[in-house]
Amino acid sequence: KRVAAARSLDDLRRLAKRRVPGFVFDYVEGAAVTEQAARDNESAFARRRFVPSVTESAAGASLTTRLLGRDHSMPIGIAPIGLTALMRAAGETDGVRAAANRDVPFVLSTMGTRSIEQLADAAPAARRWFQLYLRRDRDASLALIERAAAAGFDALVLTVDTRVPGQRYRDDRNRLSMPPRLTVRTAAQSALHPAWSLDLLAHDAPAMANFGPRSGSVTDVVSSMFDPALSLDDVRWLREHWSGPIVVKGVLSAVDAERFVDAGADAIWVSNHGGRQLDRAISPVEVVGAVRAAVGDDVPVLLDSGIRSGLDVVAAIACGADFVFLGRGYMYGLMAGGRIGVERALDLVAGETLSTMQLLGVRTTAELRGRGAALLAPTG
């Protein structure tokens, strides 16, 4: 219906905003401190200008992209998101089924609202990755990754930009907690969004499924459990305990990227967490070229933060990324229309990506990466 009529992620965002209470939309949309990094992520993409090569044929173009030993239908995956059932009660179940239907990777967060095993049952054929926040209690982290391996998760994503919680003032003002605590304000907001409230009532109260029983403000959970001492040694330690690919997420410097690869990482995920951790952090699209140069052509470079259209996807790949991930874009689809909304989000961005590649005179994502420098105007 309305989701099918959406022409862009921005249309889905508008539908999403209407469907969920303000405190939920704030959790998705918000970022750290002044939210400058989040704004910069979008403007860094919007500043890029393309130089098409109209003497090249664009017939037979395809988005198929190989990543970590497997082909995907498009160079776009679903980023890890915490507290997903707050946005839509079916939570990650809807997300992973959409990912399976579109043949793209889905990353389950440590802070997710479906367990590792529930997610495997929901979509056995999906390409599932597990995102790890390293806990002070290393044995607890080890237990999680052993479960992920047993449940058929392919890759481990270690997020390194969350040693301490981001300062997200919107969530503080809304007194965001897990499970959601009703205040006068959030109760009033929920009453104004009956479709969202009924959906939530029909399911179990959203809880962080991979943590065991735990409640409190999200900031308190993060600061009490995550380890500010995370270091390169932890990547070496994970390397001993995880036999599949290790992806390090949250890298913004070429030097760090090289060090992580030396420590055993198989891929680097350039990200500033959508501006939700270090405010005024540089935008990934500004550094991905340097990261690519540092790690060479054979190490996959992934990117997120600020992707809102296929134009952004093309710019990211032309700048040196192999693959991109949607964080808020996925959430807009999920909030607007569950599984179908997520599929719509992926389809819209894929359609824009393909059309942009063809207008540029490029037929494959590998070619886009190889010829990227010639297809972008120098940035001033």
Owner of token pair 């995880």: 242
Cβ distance to ligand FNR smaller for residue 61 or 316: 316
Which one, of 358, 377, 378, lies nearest residue 368 by Cα?
A: 358
Q: Is 246 annotated as a binding residue?
A: no
Which one, of 302, 133, 143, lies nearest residue 225 by Cα?
A: 133
The reply to whether 113 sits near ligand FNR by the rule CB under 6 A is: no
Cβ distance to ligand FNR smaller for residue 271 or 353: 271
Which span sits near ligand FNR by CB under 6 A: 74-82, 144-152, 343-351, 353-361?
74-82
Q: Is 53 annotated as a binding residue?
A: no
Q: How far is the CB of 26 from ligand FNR (least distance, A)?
A: 10
Build a one-symbol-per-residue string for 324-363: x at contacts with ligand FNR by CB under 6 A, - elsewhere: --xxxx-x--------------------------------
| Amino acid sitting at position 312 | D
Q: What are phi and psi of 228, to 5 degrees?
A: -70, -10
What would the two tokens of residue 45 be? 């993409």
Q: Which of residues 282-321 bind ligand FNR (CB under 6 A)?
A: 304-307
Q: How far is the CB of 185 from ligand FNR (least distance, A)?
A: 20
303 forms beta bridges with: 270, 324
The reply to whether 109 sits near ligand FNR by the rule CB under 6 A is: yes
DSSP for residue 376:
B
Q: Is 330 annotated as a binding residue?
A: no
Residues in Cβ contact with 71 at an 8 Å cutoff, skipping those fewer than 6 apart: 64, 65
Q: Could you please report the per-residue DSSP string of 229-280?
A: T--HHHHHHHHHH--S-EEEEEE--HHHHHHHHHHT-SEEEE--GGGTSSTT
Query: Which of 65, 93, 118, 131 touches ligand FNR (CB under 6 A)?
Result: 131
Q: How far is residue 91's CA from residue 290's CA, in Å, rounded to a whole number? A: 36
Q: Is 273 marked active-site?
A: yes
| Amino acid sitting at position 295 | V
Cβ distance to ligand FNR smaller for residue 353 or 361: 353
- The count of residues interacting with ligand FNR (CB under 6 A) is 25
The reply to whether 89 sits near ligand FNR by the rule CB under 6 A is: no
Residues in Cβ contact with 220 at an 8 Å cutoff, skipping those fewer than 6 apart: none
Which one, of 123, 69, 70, lies nearest residue 100 by Cα?
A: 123
- In the complex, the residues that contact ligand FNR under the rule CB under 6 A are 27-28, 41, 79-82, 109, 111, 131, 159, 249, 271, 273-274, 276, 304-307, 326-329, 331
Q: Which residues make up each annotated binding site? A: 27, 80-82, 109, 131, 133, 159, 168, 249, 271, 273, 276, 304-308, 327-328
Q: Which residues are catalytic?
A: 273
- Positions at the binding site for glyoxylate: 27, 109, 133, 168, 273, 276
